[in-house]
């Protein structure tokens, strides 16, 4: 039987990116991080999302080596933090991430936030990393349509991924449509709205219909919308639970009911006022 770990999203350059992976924001305890990432990989997770600001790249790299899974079977994403941005600065930040992870390439490297004075130069540096085959795909995070338009004006290679806050309270429909039109895959960050939705009555009713948890229903909603989804957990049972979403499907009316929960409500910051 196919599992969620086999689902791939085809990026605009032909690279296959796993549709489901592990987020690692707030994994700050080294032992806990090692245990969570190792467990996730042993369960079948093949994509790990980290960032220099999470300060866990060292443990993520170590867990990957401990897992025994060949590097080329994994998809590793990292990001350049706001105070590391600019052309030369980004090249140096990438070197630091690579050293911390102890790897010789990354699958995807993202501008973490569009710092207004430097995000264009930051993306130019990411293009160079791609040209030099140090990353397999280019991308950005927290970019609105106007930031992407700005990049299109200078880019030789358009970003292949945009990672943004996205969950049933913030469905980002216009941005998703824009990205789809321009062949940019969308990754949902805080896909579970950091737990805010776990008691929601609509989601609870749908979950009990399918004998699933609310978290599984939300993950399934992202998957059926062709979004890349990276829930974070350090709890072994939840890491397992979040990946068990291949044995049920939401009907179109259930998808519409979840879509209707949208309130354009962020759990994090608006990129325009960051």
**Binding residue for ligand NAP (CB under 6 A) from 241, 246, 248, 262?**
241
Active site residues: 54
Point out which span in 116-124, 191-199, 203-211, 244-252 binds ligand NAP (CB under 6 A).
Answer: 191-199
**Binding residue for ligand NAP (CB under 6 A) from 141, 162, 171, 172?**
141
Rounded least distance, CB 98 to ligand NAP, Å: 18
Contact 231, 191 (CB under 8 A): yes
Name the burial class of residue 72, with classes exposed (0-12), middle (13-18) and buried (19+) by CB atoms within 10 angstroms of its CB.
exposed
Contact 135, 109 (CB under 8 A): yes
Question: Which is closer to ligand NAP, CB of 132 or CB of 195?
Answer: 195
The DSSP string of 52-68 is: GGGT-HHHHHHHHHHH-
Beta carbons within 8 Å of 84's beta carbon, 6+ residues apart: 52, 90, 92, 93
Coil, strand, or helix at residue 107?
strand
**Binding residue for ligand NAP (CB under 6 A) from 83, 195, 249, 256?**
195
Rounded least distance, CB 150 to ligand NAP, Å: 18
**Binding residue for ligand NAP (CB under 6 A) from 232, 243, 254, 261?**
232
Question: Which is closer to ligand NAP, CB of 67 or CB of 190?
Answer: 190
Point out which span in 39-47, 122-130, 144-152, 226-234 binds ligand NAP (CB under 6 A).
Answer: 226-234
**Binding residue for ligand NAP (CB under 6 A) from 3, 8, 12, 25?**
25
The closest alpha carbon to 230, from 67, 55, 108, 80, belongs to 108
Rounded least distance, CB 6 to ligand NAP, Å: 21
The DSSP string of 146-201 is: HHHHHHHHH-SS--SEEEEE-BTTB--HHHHHHHHHTT-EEEEESTTGGGTTTT-H
Binding residues for ligand NAP restricted to 249-268, rule: CB under 6 A: 268
Does 78 sit near ligand NAP (CB under 6 A)? no
* Interacting residues with ligand NAP (CB under 6 A): 23-25, 49, 112, 141-142, 163, 189-195, 198, 215, 230-235, 238, 241-242, 268
């Amino acid at each position: 039987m196919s599992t969620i770990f086999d689902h791939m999203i085809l990026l605009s350059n032909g690279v296959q990116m796993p549709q489901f992976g592990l987020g690692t924001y707030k994994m700050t305890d080294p032992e806990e991080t090692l245990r969570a990432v190792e467990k996730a990989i042993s369960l079948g997770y093949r994509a790990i999302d980290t960032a220099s600001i999470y300060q866990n790249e060292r443990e993520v790299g170590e867990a990957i080596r401990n897992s025994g899974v060949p590097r080329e079977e994994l998809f590793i994403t990292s990001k350049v933090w706001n105070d590391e941005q600019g052309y030369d600065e980004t090249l140096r930040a990438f070197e630091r991430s690579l050293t911390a992870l102890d790897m010789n390439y990354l699958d995807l490297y993202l501008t973490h936030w569009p710092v207004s004075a430097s995000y264009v130069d930051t993306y130019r540096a990411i293009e160079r990393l791609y040209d030099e085959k140090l990353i397999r795909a280019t991308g950005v995070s927290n970019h609105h349509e106007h930031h992407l338009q700005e990049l299109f004006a200078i880019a030789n290679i358009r970003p292949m991924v945009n990672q943004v806050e996205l969950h049933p309270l913030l469905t980002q429909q216009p941005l998703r449509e824009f990205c789809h039109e321009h062949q940019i895959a969308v990754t949902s960050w805080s896909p579970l709205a950091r737990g805010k939705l776990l008691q929601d009555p609509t989601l609870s009713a749908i979950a009990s219909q399918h004998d699933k948890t609310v978290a599984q229903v939300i993950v399934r909603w992202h998957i059926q919308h062709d979004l890349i989804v990276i829930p974070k957990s350090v709890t072994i049972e939840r890491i397992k639970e979040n990946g068990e979403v291949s044995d049920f499907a939401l009907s179109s009316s259930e998808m519409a009911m979840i879509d209707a929960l949208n309130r354009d409500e962020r759990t994090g910051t608006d990129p325009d006022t960051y």
